[in-house]
Amino acid sequence: MNTEVVRVNSKPRRFITGAVIAFVLLAMPLSAWSEDQQSITTLRQMGKAFASIAEKASPAVVGIRAEKVVKSRGRSSETPFGGPFDEDLFEYFFRRRSPRQFERPESKQVAQGSGFIVTPDGYILTNNHLVGGASEVKVSLDGGRTLLAEVIGTDPETDVAVIKIEGKDLPYVEWADSAALEVGEWVIAIGNPFGLSHTVTAGIVSAKGRSRIGVADYEDFIQTDAAINFGNSGGPLLNLDGQAVGINTAIIGPGGNVGIGLAIPSNMAKVIYTKLKEGGKVVRGFLGVIIQDLDPEMAESFGAEDTKGVLVSDVTEDSAAERAGLRAGDVVLELEGSPVTSANELSNRVAMYKPDTKVEMVIVRNGKRKTITAKLDKRPEGDPRAAGGGVETQEQLGLSVQTLTKDLAEDLGYDDLEGVVVTEVEPDSAAAEKGIRPGTVIMEVDRDVVRNVKEFNEAIQKAQKKGKALLRIRSEGYTRFVVLPLSEE
């Protein structure tokens, strides 16, 4: 049988393979180029969005120059208005430079910052530390006009101020709901850093609810990495709709922007603005409690399911809290239907209500939930936080105590207080770690009153079975609870 051998021409196959490889090689850079173009397009769109916001909001952002005549007390920097040169008040709050050692009988001091118009007829929101106590306030508008402003009201406790210029149909910034703001969202700051008017910077929301910074009594700051410098004080922090979510107020750092700027949230600022506009000052509600945050040990001791809520460590006599039936040891879970997550939050929220407002609270007492209603008092002037034997050593606790006699109580300023007073604290002990110092008065152990050293020792011995002791203490005008570990030996 004849076998026919068919020869296949290899050239076409090699041609097809080469064409495929060439296509792949060509397609790869085209795909990468396409992705680059898409990224560039996205960046262009973002840039256009920022430009649109700046164009919309910048006309409503103003420069502020506040003057104050002060009498020297030997050091010119004793006033927050700084020295004889034009300085922003951030110099006072955050640089803390050495005082200048020269005297003047009387001097004019100047602070420069920012603000933003919030109504067409010229109401302007800014910071108290910028215009508070000023003898003259001038406002520079977009376009170069300068007008005198009237100080409508200031609130040092939130660092918010309202001023007004004469005008109508003025550009203004709308409010946004700062509660809806989320960490990671883009925000834009506009202001006059170092006197450079209408400077626009962008960043994200780094955190919310920042407190205990030391700028104001009531703090609930938005933290942002948008560049904020000396002079941005009082300017708006804007969302991508061009609405104000906050007032730029403070920076954290030795001087200038380090990526940590703080803004008063718009929801707080709006409440203060309304009160200042209506009455020129802020009158706050007052509950009359000393409160503290919960930790896991505290939560377990007071029957709370977790650390959510706020522990009441003391109740002011004849206060709204006492009349409502609140007691030391109660854990506040909700205020007016909304959860309470920290002592700072509860304090801020109560202060936003007017006196005589009735508020409903959900509490936990001895492990059981209960609802109570309190009619708020007016917050008193001054500091509202407080209403009001032989030496024995407790080695386990790392402290020594003695009975708080009547004479000793008077000497220490603890009139009508019963308990034991701490006379010595071991360094690095559990007591020292919890902030107990000589002079601290221990009033209760595990919710039982202790009136002398004998009762205190008996209560500690009883608490050893649980391996810890819950102490109710008083120190420097504050009453609070602490949990100290104990061994069974």
Sign of CA dihedral 327, 328, 333, 336: positive
Other C-beta atoms closer than 10 Å to the C-beta of 416 total 8
CB-CB contact of 230 with 215 (8 Å): no
CB-CB contact of 201 with 245 (8 Å): no
Catalytic residues: 129, 159, 233
CB-CB contact of 208 with 181 (8 Å): yes
CB-CB contact of 488 with 466 (8 Å): no
State how far the Cα of 82 lies from the Cα of 79, in Å rounded to an integer.
6
CB-CB contact of 124 with 118 (8 Å): yes
3-class secondary-structure state, position 178? helix
Look up residue 101 and give its two tokens.
């050692």
Do the bridges between strand 199-210 and strand 146-155 make them parallel or antiparallel, or are there none, so unpaired? Answer: unpaired
- C-alpha distance across the termini of the chain, in Å: 107
State how far the Cα of 418 lies from the Cα of 184, in Å rounded to an integer.
51
Residue 94 has what DSSP assignment?
I
Alpha helices in 146-291 (DSSP H): 266-279
Token look-up 């106590």 returns 133
State how far the Cα of 161 lies from the Cα of 446, in Å rounded to an integer.
46
What is the number of residues in the chain? 489
* Burial class of residue 395 in the structure, from the number of CB atoms within 10 Å of its CB (0-12 exposed, 13-18 middle, 19+ buried): exposed
